[in-house]
Amino acid sequence: MAHATVEWTDNLAGKFDLKALLQLIAEDMRERADGVFPVGGIRVRGIRLTDYVIADDACAEDAFININVKMGAGRSAEFRKAYFDALFVRVRAFLGDLFEKRPLALTLYVEEAEGWKHNSIHKRLEAKH
């Protein structure tokens, strides 16, 4: 399981390619995590935020993108540090010069989660091979 939620302020609409960012994160989890995240358990979604206050609420151009990742327990601290450091660098590079064009905050938070799940996507993926 690896679920990523990308929250972004609506004043960024049209300023970056949200779908491409979601695809980048999903592809990264599939291709660069050395099989640590089962493909059938990867979920990446975007949530456009319309109600928010940033800093002193004095600049309408202030914006943020926050990425929250939940994953099942058991990944080593070494893996988490190396993988998420690299993912953060890739996301920053994807956003390019957006940081120079406006006040922008980017955050990435990772948490281990315990949960209950039922998923037949794994079965579909196994049938492909």
What are the tens digits of pLDDT across the range 26-52?
A: 999 999 988 999 999 999 999 999 999
Domain count for the chain: 1
Phi and psi, residue 17, nearest 5°: -95, 95
In this structure, what CATH number is given to the domain that contains residue 49?
Answer: 3.30.429.10
- Residues 70 and 1: their CA atoms lie apart, in Å, by 8
Q: Which domain holds residue 6?
A: 2-128
- The vertex-104 CA angle with 22 and 80, nearest 5°, equals 50
- Whole-structure pTM value: 0.90
Q: Both tokens of residue 5?
A: 């939620």
Residue 96 CA: distances (Å) to CA of 4, 18, 55: 21, 13, 23
